[in-house]
Amino acid sequence: MNDKKGLSDIGEVYETVRSKMLKRVTRFCSNSQDVEDVVQDAFVKVIEAQFDYLMDNGSAWQLSVMRSEEDIFRGYSRIAEQEVQSLYWDSVNNYYTDYSRPGDPSNPMDMSMQNGRRAPDNDPTGLEETYAEIRWASPEEERLRYVVGGSYYDYEYVATQYGAPGYNNLAAGTADLFAQLIDPSELGESGGVVAPSTVITDATTNTAVFFNASYDFTDTITGSIEGRYAQDDVGAFLPLAGLEQTITTKTFTPRIALNYAPNDRTTYYLQYSEGVNPAGINANMLDPVLRATLDNGIPVDDTIYGGSINENVTSVNYDSDRYVSFEEEKLTNFEFGFKGNAFDGRFTYAGALYYMIWEDALENIALNWDYLYADDDCDGMSVFACDGMGSTDVYYVAETNNTSTNQILTNTGESETTGIELQTSYQISENWSISANASLMDRKFTEYCSEDDFIGFPTELGAIAGLTEGVSEGGNPCWSLNGLDVPDQPSFSMTVIPRYRTEFGDGFRFSGSATFRHTAQHFSEFSNTTENPAVDRVNLNLGLSKDGWSASLYINNLLDNKKLVPRRFTSVNRFTDLNTPAAIPLEYQQVGPDGGTYGSFSILPNEGRTFGVRLNYDF
């Protein structure tokens, strides 16, 4: 590997990051065997201290501090240092190719493991946290009790990713970086570190002041009020690309509560509270390649198949700033609750009635903004030939790289939730007990026009779903979801668990339990078109133990419930299994206004009955 470039070619930022990550490896690894043995683990250094000072009048000062450093190797490829295989240099295209087998090194597609990892140390991540809090508390015996204080929290996350060599590096624009790959024979000395393709850094600093005050109006009634004013500075950085962005949130969150305890067995409470999740940055959306495809459109050429499109096609009419950051989400909660016990404590119960307003709720989504007719399975086919409808002179093309991203947060408007929760347990006898819980909830969107679902849900399918097209505050097309159920929120769920315990002969202990759980049907996506069916599950567990030994037999899904779960809404013509048309159940089929039949494909069966045995011994 004589074509390696110097570290100075990509600037001081990279040199600093590389040096820092290399030190993190070599700090714990004295030789190559150490690297092989420890890279699966996380290294944690934690220092904690607490100082308390009690004053003569009963009030107290408390200082707490914490410092934590954690190094994690997330992507270890299980290839030991001495087993790293050869890399082939493509002198024609100037990048490295296959390491898994000899082949034609001038052909980047002649690779059996194009995406395989090439170094034993892959994607190390560093976490650093610093926390300090000081508080002053009044005497606990007073009728009026209070606490005031302040806190500081700083968090830094550094993830270093190493791109795969060969064609993928060239496509991602990281070939120059990968050309700095340390020779495999030198990996022992380097700790397995090679040049990174991406470094992502998240940094958060939170400073806050807070107070809490409680007052006993009578022996049975207590009121409390508390509040917290905080400032959150959240930043994300791509050092290798020289990109960074920060966002600041300032909030005040109050809580007011009234407790009533008529006796030592029963308590009732009323509560009003507000909670926030501060605004933040999606670090991966700082990637300049992703931003370019959003801002400039997707290159499309279907003229090679006889079509008429040869241009950049804009999939969305807003720029990449739309997803770089997300707004603060806020939850306002009104709640009435109770708890207590009876029959000398053998019977316990608790419950709550609540109403919540959730503003700008955060949703973790995968975003895909490719050309509408980009599909590897239909590449080269006309839209009509692939779907059985649509244009005969527009052709599908291959899916585009760098037009999707996973694990980004976006705001999902406002929703309201009303619910009740109950739980109870009863010790029937010395051996028998039973516990149960139930939840009844209704959560609907009250103000939300979704841009995100407009992207992933083509216009004709939105019309079939009965959605109304609107315009968002940013001036972008969106689907109005007002009045629809929030997805993946069952309206009712219930669990009942009877248990039996006993002891017999020479210290043996036996336990057995059955779990009966019911989850009501619920919608699986924002458009409320496909539903996850109601599920009933029965699980059994039998255990035997003595001293440090224990063994258990478990049977999950005793009734072998395998109801189908629809996942996506699309054309029936695309529903195939190994190129053989498969039947879609009638309940998942719909006829659209264009005369086409639509249904759900990627139908997922619930996991069937499973059973096993666990053996444990505590030394």
Distance, CA of 146 to CA of 226 (rounded, Å): 9
Indicate whether 57 belongs to any domain: no
In total, how many domains does the chain have?
Answer: 1
CA distance 231 to 431: 53
Please check whether residue 223 lies inside any domain of the structure. yes
Give a yes or no: residue 273 inside a domain. yes
Here the tokens at position 382 are 């006309």
- pLDDT at position 100, please? 39
Look up the domain containing 290 and give its range: 217-411
Tell me which residues of the chain have a pLDDT lower than 50. Answer: 1-41, 75-89, 94-121, 164-175, 177-193, 573-581, 593
What is the spatial distance between Cα 411 and Cα 326, in angstroms, rounded to a whole number?
A: 6
Strand 362-368 and strand 280-281: the pairing is unpaired
CA gap 176, 376 in Å, rounded? 29
Kindly report the pTM of this predicted structure. 0.73
Among 168, 170, 156, 160, smallest CA distance to 193 is for 160
Predicted local confidence at residue 514, as pLDDT = 96
Report the distance separating Cα 204 and Cα 246, nearest Å: 9
CA distance 215 to 192: 61
Can you read off the two tokens belonging to residue 569? 């809404």
- Six-digit token string for 387: 């779907």
Name the amino acid, one letter, at 440. L
How many angstroms separate the CA atoms of 408 and 283, rounded? 9
Q: Is 334 inside any structural domain? A: yes
Domain-located, residue 299: yes
- For the four alpha carbons of 523, 525, 529 and 532, in that order, the dihedral sign comes to negative
The dihedral sign for the CA sequence 112, 118, 121, 123 = negative
Measure the CA–CA gap between 266 and 350, rounded to whole angstroms. Answer: 10
Q: Determine the Cα–Cα distance for residues 480 and 493; give it in Å rounded to an integer.
A: 28
Query: Could you tell me the two tokens for 75?
Result: 């992507």
Give the torsion sign (CA, 75, 76, 78, 80): positive
In a domain, 226, yes or no: yes
Q: Between the CA of residue 26 and those of 18, 31, 47, 157, 575, what are the distances in Å?
A: 12, 8, 22, 19, 52
Long-range contacts of 257-263 (CB under 8 A, 24+ apart): 257/223, 257/224, 257/225, 258/221, 258/222, 258/223, 258/224, 259/221, 259/222, 259/223, 259/224, 260/220, 260/221, 261/220, 261/222, 262/220
- Cα 135-136-139 angle, rounded to 5 deg: 140
The verdict on residue 71 lying in a domain is no
Q: Read off the amino acid at residue 421.
A: E
* Residue 611 belongs to a domain: no
